[in-house]
Structures are given as C-alpha cells and as structure tokens.
C-alpha cells in the first residue's frame, strides 16, 4: 500500500476526529493520501483534496468513513474502477463495513502488511430502453422502482428477454444483488443470499395480490420492467440515491454490470457471523432479554 483515497459521511459528527486519525496514520507510515474535496473545511491542505469521483486515480485503496450508506456512495463514485474499498463503521448497522472506529489504526496496519483479502461483488446496471436514453446507473445493493408518493400504486410487467414473466400492481419493485439481499429487499420479504453467489433478486414492495412473491433470476438474465400506471413522482433509486424519473409506458432494462465492486475483507468477518451479530438471524430469543 503506497497511497489511499479517503471519503466520509459529511453529516456524521464522528467523522472529523476519525478522519484526522486516518491522516495521522498515513503520515506516520509514509502513506500518500487524497481526501474527498467535500472536507475542505476540516483543515486538510488544498493539494490533498480530490473530487470523490477521482479518488480512485493513483490510489491503492479507498477508505470509507461512515456506515453502509457512505460505502455505497463510495462504490457509486469509484466502484467501476475496481479499487478495493475498506469500510470503517462510525455508528449504525454497518453491515458492509469491516472495521469499527476503535480499530482504525490496527486495521490499516493489517492492510499495509497484506493481512487481508478482497471480495468481488456482483453489481447491476439500469437504463431506460423506452424511451431510449444513454444514461446508465450502477448499483451494488439494489435498484428500486418506487412510486414516490403515499397511497398510490404502480403497475409493472416483468420480462426476461422476450419472455413475459408476470404482471402486478404494487408500491414499488426492488431488484437487488446478493449483497443487497440483506437490505431493503429483506425488509420487503425477500430472501437472504450469500454475497458470493451471482443472482438477481426481484422483490415486490407491498403487492396488491397475495399471489405475487419474490423471485430469483440468474445473474446472466436481462430483465425488462415495463410500466403502465405510474404517478407523477415515481422514480428509480440506486443504492438509496436518486437515479431518474419514471413515466407511463417507460421500459427499464436491468442486468449484470460490466464491472464488479471490490471490497476489503478480513477473515474473521464471516457473513453468517455478521447475520447473527447484527441482524440477530437464527438466534433463539432468551427469556427476560
């Protein structure tokens, strides 16, 4: 490790202190670094600032200070460039992050010594094919087609290639990766899938019929979502961030992205252990607790 990029959640009060700790560690270990230019006001020299979308250039790793949302924002900015991303959790669930705030220095030291692994995760891409648009958006967790208003529904048709799969009316639709299977999709009743599997999970949000259930497709399939009844504020959201608006008769193509997202992993961070620890999955309730 010779150089790292650093990004963080600007609204987290723990960030300034954690950022200074990362910078001190870099200086002590003679590691070059660049900081997200959004943090110009925390005493970082101008020559050390860089726009988030350029943090991957010339760096060996990208360090994300915050929670899962911050890490997902980092993947939006740099994930397609394959730079390994290390998530350091500063509160909240932190399902995707690898370190806590107390482990900043020791964790960075482990990376410097090469005591880590990386995982390459499936990413998805979405774009409108009717009307045809060139804008392509990418997701590590999920692509959500949402009504955007209370008490209104959207009518969907799902096709795989030229084959009709199903139609239904619902509050929305979640198309997620295995990485995102423990996020919004899980809350909407979708299955848990190991993040090293390659699959596309389609989970309706509050469908109007009991017959509509989540379905899992091969990661090699190309999904076409056709919209019929759509309200004015309906939109596509990508990893919790705004994507593009939806209108009646739009068709959205969702498929495997041409790149994967690379995450830094430590051997003790077992996926099933994280499920038990953070989601209390598979644990019997104890009386009086």
Active site residues: 68
Residues 6+ apart with CB under 8 A from 149: 231, 232, 233, 234
Secondary structure (DSSP) of 56-123: TTT-SEEEEEESHHHHHHHHHHHGGGT--EEEEE-SS--SS--EEGGGHHHHHHHHHTT--EEEEEEE
Between vectors from CA 156 to CA 150 and to CA 158, what angle results, nearest 5°?
145
d(CA 152, CA 7): 37
Q: How many CA atoms lie within 13 A of 123 on its CB side?
A: 26
Length of the chain, please?
289
């Amino acid at each position: 490790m010779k150089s790292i990029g650093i990004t963080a959640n600007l609204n987290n009060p723990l960030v300034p202190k954690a950022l200074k700790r990362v910078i001190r560690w870099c200086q002590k270990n003679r590691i070059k670094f660049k900081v997200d230019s959004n943090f110009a006001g925390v005493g970082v020299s101008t020559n050390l600032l860089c726009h988030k979308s350029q943090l991957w250039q010339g760096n060996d790793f990208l360090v994300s200070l915050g929670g899962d949302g911050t890490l997902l924002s980092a993947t939006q900015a740099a994930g397609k460039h394959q730079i390994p991303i290390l998530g350091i959790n500063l509160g909240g669930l932190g399902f995707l992050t690898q370190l806590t705030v107390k482990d900043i220095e020791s964790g960075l030291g482990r990376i410097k010594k090469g005591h880590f692994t990386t995982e390459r995760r499936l990413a998805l891409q979405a774009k409108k094919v009717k009307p045809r648009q060139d804008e392509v958006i990418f997701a590590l967790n999920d692509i959500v087609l949402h009504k955007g208003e209370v008490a209104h529904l959207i009518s969907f048709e799902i096709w795989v290639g030229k084959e009709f799969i199903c139609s239904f009316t619902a509050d929305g639709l979640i198309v997620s990766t295995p990485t995102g299977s423990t996020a919004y999709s899980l809350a909407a009743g979708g299955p848990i899938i190991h993040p090293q599997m390659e699959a596309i999970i389609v989970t309706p949000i509050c469908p109007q019929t009991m017959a509509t259930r989540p379905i899992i497709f091969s990661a090699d399939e190309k999904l076409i979502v056709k919209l019929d009844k759509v309200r004015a504020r309906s939109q596509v959201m990508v990893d919790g961030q705004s994507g593009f608006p939806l209108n009646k008769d739009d068709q959205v193509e969702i498929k495997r992205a041409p790149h994967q997202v690379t995450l830094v992993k430590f051997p003790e961070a077992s996926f099933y252990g994280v499920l038990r620890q953070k989601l209390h999955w598979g644990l019997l309730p104890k009386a009086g607790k």
